Structure 1
Amino acid sequence: MSTSPRAQADDFKRARDLEGEIGALLAGDAALRNAPWYPAAAGDRLEVHYGFANYYETYIVTPTDDEGLVLAFDSVTPDTEESRQGAGCFARADYDDPFCTPWMEAGPSTLRIIRNGVTVHQGAQVPN
């Protein structure tokens, strides 16, 4: 199982390896910014798969009034009372790089990014 850049940085931090910690964060950021589909575009859909069978959250990249972009929470699957509790943690009203936090925190292997109906990023842990 692949870990997120943040989890990798935390491992280095526990080992008191500052160079490794910073390196993990910089490598994660570079991987995002060098992806062929980067940056996010209004209308992109982001699915975050948490490793539980058929459980994921969906977000939509939405423009803001000041020409920025944010993730807006759309849905959780399965849509149950229990799964809705705590869902939507990556939705932000004041963030300008919508994919950065889920990429760094959840990890690229847990994400599916869909642009104009086409999957442009399929994480390793995301079922087909």
Structure 2
Amino acid sequence: MTWAKVAPVLMLVCSNVFMTFAWYGHLKHKAAPLVLAILVSWGIAFFEYCLAVPANRIGSEAYAPAQLKAMQEVITLAVFCGFSVLYLGQKVTVNQLIGFAFIALGAFFVFRNPLGVS
């Protein structure tokens, strides 16, 4: 397993933690002014970009852009589920899991190469 295959996964997981906090973390602080939520979220998102951009640059050595995007979506949903339960105190429903499974199935097909063509 090469660095170009492993690094993007690790970096995308970390970047998604930042982005999930940027997009949804403010929901626990609804009394804060919206402009403050926007500015704090924007600051958090900076760190997400510092990981996501290099992850895709490094990952492009081992994965096609569509594969990187599919990987990103599956990681995003996994991180979001954990965040939703652990930070927001929400329950993940069966319907949500089914929907996320369909997205993961789509990612499976993006990575599948039935004709052996690269």
Q: TM-score range by the shorter chain?
A: 0.3 to 0.5
Larger Rg: 2
The structure whose residues are more often strand, as a share, is 1
Q: TM-score of the superposition, structure 2-length normalised?
A: 0.33
